[in-house]
Amino acid sequence: MAIQAVILSGGSGTRMWPASRESYPKQLLALASSNTMLQETAMRLDGLANALDKTIVVTNDDYRFVIAEQLRQIGKQGCIVLEPVGRNTAPALTLAALASRRNGEDPVLLVMPADHVIQDLEAFQAAIQDGARQAEAGAFVTFGIVPDRPETGYGYIRTGASVTENSAALELAAFVEKPNAETAQRYVSSGDYLWNSGIFVLKASRWLDAIEHFNPEMAAACRAAIAVAKDDGEFIRVDKDAFLRSPSDSIDYAVMEPLSGAAHLGRGVVIPLSAGWSDVGAWDALWQVSDKDESGNAIRGNAMLENCEDSFVFAESRLVAGIGLKDVVVVETPDAVMVAHKNNTQDVKKIVARLKADGKTLAQNHRKVYRPWGWYDSIDLGDRFQVKRIGVNPGAKLSLQMHHHRAEHWIVVSGTAEVTNGDKVMLLAENQSTYIPLGTTHRLSNPGKVPLEIIEVQSGSYLGEDDIVRFEDTYGRCE
């Protein structure tokens, strides 16, 4: 019984702003440990003898190189399926199931969102093994979190009788929408309800049969999109026109809920899970799963607290000092600071909506922007000039390009740069520099085995990122 990890990684995480942005969302950040949330998710099957080596990740085109690099950093092989548009979790899982069967295998799929925290890995793996046995026998398995409080921010699962003597699995009676406070208290008191985790275990073939039965339009669109997909061994780029024909639906609604009326396909079961789970849906949830001092305070980064209680400080780039705070969340990034009462952290999404409505890019981008070849950090910006730190990974290169409205000065800080400047190609070492006149074709490469870092000073009448004409690009970005 082979278990194939499938990670769904398409969300934008707006309630975790300003650390999470659309171009670099929370699953790509190290929020709860020294690893990113995606990396922690990918490592959850480590140590299981029946876990397959390759991890299937379903995401969008914007995150593909970052995800590939993060998997490489932890020694994971990745099969990264790229959705051209978002269609919710059911089509995403259908693409993953089809990808898992391309060589004739029929693994048990462990389907996990990329942005959850699991603190008790041993308990989690034991529940997964239980679920995998149920899935191998034909069941559609989800996991219900044993609630420790009446929570209005989660959906619930109503449970039924035990399924077998040798399993913790219970009948899945119903999915229930997020309740009000009074209803949530009643659910928890009854003992018949669990939080809906959004984690599933099921056979790939069973899922595909169920989608064919309940939503043949979705099944046909996903099959067509995979059939003509471009596969380079690392990325599977599904066909956009075919995938656009797929309806949008969640795993719960598309298959799990209607299963009770189609017994021949299999039954839905739920396994109770107590493993320190959190979906980290907002900053107060991250505080709940963080280590705290004797006053209930949690700190990530460089912070000092005096006379504070039950507060959380997340500092990325500078010292944050808090005095006399109670039930407060402070999040500091190089370009934004967010301060909120713990009870109101869900409303961060309203700030993000206002930023978008005002046309401000702070909702989409960090000051530090990641690219397939490395990153750049806009450290200063003024009238007709901009200063960037640029990091280029070993062996990587930027596109061969030119600009209509700006000239550039490059100074090497560390590493070795191979520079194309018009007709000249030169090597620059630390403290050496070059000038790129406006309109000159140029390229920056790192031929070395260590990261390259340069300072770039731009000057001109327009400094936007859209003033780039690409002539050649390793990453397929030429128009």
Closest CA to 348 of 337, 360, 335: 337
Closest CA to 173 of 154, 187, 189, 153: 187
Neighbours of 252 (CB within 10 A): 18
Distance between CA 175 and CA 144 in Å, rounded? Answer: 10
Residue 437 DSSP symbol: -
Closest CA to 160 of 274, 265, 272: 272
Q: Are 170 and 270 in contact (CB under 8 A)?
A: yes
Amino acid letter, residue 69: E
Domain architecture of the chain: domains with CATH: 3-278 (3.90.550.10), 283-356 (no CATH), 368-472 (2.60.120.10)
Distance between CA 90 and CA 96 in Å, rounded? Answer: 10
CA distances from 421 to 315, 387, 396, 453 (A): 40, 19, 17, 18
CA distances from 332 to 77, 294, 353 (A): 34, 23, 19
Sign of the alpha-carbon dihedral angle for 468, 66, 198, 164? positive
Q: What is the pLDDT of residue 234?
A: 83
Q: What is the pLDDT of residue 13?
A: 79
Distance between CA 419 and CA 390 in Å, rounded? Answer: 14
Residue 90 has pLDDT above 90, yes or no: yes
Distance between CA 49 and CA 47 in Å, rounded? Answer: 6
Question: What is the rounded (10 degree) CA torsion for 390, 365, 66, 58?
Answer: -170
Q: What is the pLDDT of residue 59?
A: 97
Q: What is the pLDDT of residue 478?
A: 62
Q: What is the pLDDT of residue 479?
A: 43
Provide the token pair at 397.
């290169």
Instruction: Find the mean pLDDT for residues 415-429.
Output: 97
For 308, phi and psi rounded to 5 degrees?
-115, 150
Neighbours of 465 (CB within 10 A): 9
User: What residues have CB less than 8 Å from 367, skipping those under 6 apart?
Assistant: 333, 334, 335, 377, 378, 379
For 8, phi and psi rounded to 5 degrees?
-95, 115
Sign of the alpha-carbon dihedral angle for 126, 129, 133, 135? positive
Helix, strand, coil share of the chain (percent; to 5) = 25, 35, 40
Q: Which helix (H) or strand (E) holds 174?
A: strand 170-176
Amino acid letter, residue 308: C
Sign of the alpha-carbon dihedral angle for 411, 366, 234, 136? positive
**What is the average pLDDT value for the chain, to the nearest integer?**
95
Q: Identify each DSSP E strand in 114-169 by its residue range.
A: 117-118, 140-145, 156-162
Model pLDDT for residues 216-259, shown as the tens digit of each residue: 999 999 999 999 999 987 899 999 999 999 999 999 999 999 99
Q: Are 387 and 431 in contact (CB under 8 A)?
A: no
Provide the token pair at 152.
């209005």
Model pLDDT for residues 172-186, shown as the tens digit of each residue: 999 999 999 999 999
Closest CA to 171 of 253, 272, 263, 268: 268
Distance between CA 55 and CA 293 in Å, rounded? Answer: 37
CA distances from 439 to 87, 428, 433, 435 (A): 41, 21, 19, 12
Q: Give ∠ CA 21-24-30 in degrees, rounded to 5.
A: 100
Q: What is the pLDDT of residue 93?
A: 98
Q: Are 38 and 76 in contact (CB under 8 A)?
A: no
Model pLDDT for residues 380-390, shown as the tens digit of each residue: 999 999 999 99
Distance between CA 311 and CA 297 in Å, rounded? Answer: 5
For 206, phi and psi rounded to 5 degrees?
-65, -40
User: What residues have CB less than 8 Å from 148, skipping those under 6 apart?
Assistant: none
Provide the token pair at 309.
């209680």
Buried b (16+ CB within 10 A) or exposed e, 421-460: beeeeeebeeeeebebeeebbbbbbbebeeebbbebbbeb
Q: What is the CA radius of gyration of the chain?
A: 25
Distance between CA 379 and CA 386 in Å, rounded? Answer: 8
Residue 477 has pLDDT above 90, yes or no: no
